[in-house]
Structure 1
Amino acid sequence: MTPIKRPSSLADVVLDHLRYDIVSGQFRLGELLSERVLAERFGVSKSPVREALAQLRLEGLVRIVPQRGAFVFTLSSAGVRQLCEFRRTLESTSFCLAFARDPVLLASTLRDCVAEMEQARAAGEERRYLDLDSAYHKAIFDLCGNSYIAEAYALNAGKIAALRTHLSAKPCHTDKSFAEHGQMAAAVAAGDLAAALAILDLHIGRSETTYEAGVADIGRADGVRPVRAGPVAALPKPARRRRPESVI
């Protein structure tokens, strides 16, 4: 008997849209998120918006201040350092596990992702490139064979992806990042785990060294401007869905 899949709730649909809007830079770091404005934007009541904001708070993408409202997250230089330490710890471990379990599959998966990233860059599709960048790192966790590690990373994946979008505006950051993705894939294909891990450490560390010690708010310090899209149509009625996966 085929199990009946529950339809997604409006809160889940709003959550998916709002998460991606934050990750992709539709809202700037530290920006106020008005429940009323969001409800009008998505064509829903405030209740599903409020539920979505509560979940995004758990994911670290939204900060809720009593009597003031909800704000897109922002990080200080210290916060970026801690996020990088978190990534190094989990991602290097996941990389080792994925390499030990199936180095051939890991190498081919990373190589295919790099090829798609190269196509996106050639076509000038920056958003697609950044989504593929997230997919590259997610693939490492998909192949590590440890759901506890993968889930711990996924809970912070949105914040990592949003920071990735923010950093893409830095001069030459994407060029260097793309080169390192290819170098890691090549090192895995050559069976050189140590080299791949060294590149990964450098790759993650660039986010940390971008900000000098003492920067209290990277969004304000960088003068971030939101990349606005056109008006968002009212959300469709809930449809059949599986549990959404976080962006990494």
Structure 2
Amino acid sequence: MKQGAQGPAGAGAGTAGAPRAGGTGAVRVPAQATAADMEGGRRAAEGAVRGEHTHSEPPLSRPRPPVVQRSSVRGQILDALRSALVGGELKPGEVYSAPVLGERFGVSATPVREAMQQLALEGAVEVVPNRGFRVVERGTRELAELAEVRALIEVPVMLRLARTVPAERWAELRPLAEATVRAASTGCRATYAESDRAFHRALLDLSGNEQLVRIAEDLHRRAQWPLAGGPIARGRADLVADAAEHLALLEALAAGELDAVRALVGEHFTGAR
């Protein structure tokens, strides 16, 4: 759907860079444990197995908190990069290097590079040898194609669910729909994008088809990426109107109004930006 919040400007086209660390809206993640910290934790754990403890610290009465694993850091970086992409901080056509982005997030280049490689698999960025990663430039045609594919997949599912799911089950999803309205009221495109995906994922979860949910969410996420040369932000009123369609869709589903469901889902996808 359409979200709006413009982050700090990225590096110039064809140059490696990222928004300054001190910019507004910069996302921070916990710094990685240093090699010395991890080595110390390993030695302490080995000593505990042998019934030993060092003279520099007393025996622990409870287990030491686990050191943050690299996979956890990578996941946090991936979430932060996705938000920066949707929010417009990472601009279509720009090249960003893992070391510079690592400095911004307070981590090494390794988890950033791994997260960027995941985004490359998703089609959000492409690898530029010896330079970094370029944000893919997308046009209106690709967005229209995504909307068409989403409608082909989800409209039949929604119509089937409207015939089979009890009204009280749809009522249980109302808090998620209301959450999208609150998110839209912030005017933050990334915040709205996350709540929007959560609502649609909950709808499709009722189908019981995990593969459908995964494919639909991938298409949904791709539909949220900004367009090359297009406006990065939409007005707050537009986001709130978009979110209001979620409430209308729930009412149509609960009432079993198939024509209304078909029209609402089709218009919702067509208007997604």
Q: TM-score, normalised by structure 1?
A: 0.68
1:184–1:114 CA distance, 2 compared to 1 (3 A): same
Q: 1:126 — aligned with what?
A: 187
* CA-to-aligned-CA distance 1:12-33 (integer Å, 9 cap, x gap): 3322322232233332333322
RCO comparison, higher one (Cα < 8 Å, 6+): 1
Trace 1:1-248 onto structure 2 (pairs within 5 A).
7=69, 9=71, 10-66=73-129, 69-120=132-183, 124-127=185-188, 128-163=191-226, 169=234, 173-207=238-272
Alignment partners' CA distance in 1, 2:70 and 2:219: 22
* CA-to-aligned-CA distance 1:146-197 (integer Å, 9 cap, x gap): 1111111233343223349x67515853244233222211111211123112
Q: Is the contact between residue 63 and residue 71 of structure 1 (CA under 8 Å) also seen in structure 2? A: yes
* CA-to-aligned-CA distance 1:45-75 (integer Å, 9 cap, x gap): 2222221111111112212244553122331
Read off the aligned partner of 1:202 and give its amino acid letter: E
Alignment partners' CA distance in 1, 2:69 and 2:109: 20
Alignment partners' CA distance in 2, 1:131 and 1:163: 15
1:56–1:105 CA distance, 2 compared to 1 (3 A): farther
Q: Is the contact between residue 155 and residue 262 of structure 2 (CA under 8 Å) also seen in structure 1? A: yes
- SS of 2:134's equivalent in the other structure is strand
Q: Is the contact between residue 88 and residue 226 of structure 2 (CA under 8 Å) also seen in structure 1? A: no
The sequence identity of aligned pairs, in percent, is 31
Structure 1's unaligned 5+ residue stretches are: 1-5, 209-248
Structure 2's unaligned 5+ residue stretches are: 1-67
1:79–1:185 CA distance, 2 compared to 1 (3 A): same
Q: Is the contact between residue 97 and residue 145 of structure 1 (CA under 8 Å) also seen in structure 2? A: no
Alignment partners' CA distance in 1, 2:226 and 2:160: 26
- SS of 1:149's equivalent in the other structure is helix
- SS of 1:126's equivalent in the other structure is coil
Q: Is the contact between residue 60 and residue 73 of structure 1 (CA under 8 Å) also seen in structure 2? A: yes
1:177–1:144 CA distance, 2 compared to 1 (3 A): same
Q: How many residue pairs are counted as aligned between the two chains?
A: 200
Read off the aligned partner of 2:123 and give its amino acid letter: G
Alignment partners' CA distance in 1, 2:123 and 2:222: 6
* CA-to-aligned-CA distance 1:68-119 (integer Å, 9 cap, x gap): 5312233112111111112112222332344345242552144322323344
1:93–1:167 CA distance, 2 compared to 1 (3 A): farther
What is the alpha-carbon root mean square deviation over aligned residues?
2.9
Q: Is the contact between residue 177 and residue 246 of structure 2 (CA under 8 Å) also seen in structure 1? A: yes
1:110–1:140 CA distance, 2 compared to 1 (3 A): same
